[in-house]
Amino acid sequence: MKKNHGKIYGLGVGPGDPELITLKALNILKAVPVVFIPVSSEGKESYAFGIVERHLDLARQKRINLLFPMKRDQGTLVPYWENAVEEILRVAEQGIDSAFITEGDPFFYSTFIYLHARLLEKVPEDRLEIVPGVTSFCASASAAMFPIVNGEAKLAVLPAAYGKDHVEDALEKFDTVVFLKVHKSLPFLLDTIEKMGRGDKFVYVERCGAAGERIIRNAGELRKAQPNYFSLLIVKK
């Protein structure tokens, strides 16, 4: 890729509050002519787009949706990653700067990680820039006023795909454990933390900073709730 080709930004836009976008990300977001938006299905609105919509000028900027179905089998997602890279390169090769937005941080359980690895094979490093964002668990801890760790305390962060053994092991070995995207495993997690004596040492947060934000600290109340996909659980000893 020639040096006069467009620059590609991976922008972390934070957990949901449009005001939690960093100043650097906001400046880039407003400046680029093209913004790539990840969507999970055709016709479905992007959570990340909802965060940045108020900051965009769609009369001047072009929005391009990139499809990434929500599937656990990563092998089935490879064609979608490759298609996204082709779209991003097509814009860059016209000398146009662009930004791929992602909720949270681009290098923390983000689809952009898979795109970045492929872009590096085709684009010089100086044509790529990653702008970090506020992660969901840091924002959630602040919203709930629930400190995560201090001093010499140990922290573990587990994604959605965790089994029973991993959960109990993490809770035993770490002072604080963050469980991400708990919507499908919440009953099991609640059973486990109550069994281990942590039933009053957790906080549940969903859609942090966005419309519909909810914070729950009571296990009984949480068992009756309908958890959202954008949810997490922070558990302490």
Range of 219's domain?
136-236
Mean pLDDT of 194-205: 95
> How would residue 4 be classed by pLDDT, with cut points 50, 70 and 90?
confident
Mean pLDDT of 138-147: 98
Q: What is the pLDDT of residue 45?
A: 81
Residue 152, CB-side half-sphere exposure with 13 Å CA sphere: 0
Report the CATH number at residue 114: 3.40.1010.10
Residue 1 domain-assigned?
Answer: no
Q: What is the pLDDT of residue 41?
A: 84
Mean pLDDT of 213-232: 95
Residue 54 main-chain phi, psi, to 5 deg = -65, -20
Mean pLDDT of 85-96: 96
* Residue 232 in this model has a pLDDT that exceeds 90: yes
Q: What is the pLDDT of residue 71?
A: 76
Q: Are residues 195 and 217 in the same domain?
A: yes
Q: Are residues 112 and 12 in the same domain?
A: yes
> How would residue 96 be classed by pLDDT, with cut points 50, 70 and 90?
very high
Sign of the CA dihedral with 148 first, then 152, 153, and 155 last: positive
Which of 119-123, 162-166, 177-181, 194-198 has the least mean pLDDT?
A: 162-166
Report the CATH number at residue 226: 3.30.950.10
Q: Are residues 99 and 148 in the same domain?
A: no
**Residue 102 CB partners (closer than 8 Å, separation 6+):** 10, 11, 12, 13, 38, 48, 110, 111, 112, 133
Beta bridge pairs of residue 102: 12
Please report, for residues 28, 34, 89, the alpha-carbon distance to residue 95 in angstroms, rounded to integers and kept in the order given. Answer: 16, 11, 10
Strongest mean pLDDT among 37-41, 59-63, 226-230: 59-63
Q: Are residues 219 and 126 in the same domain?
A: no
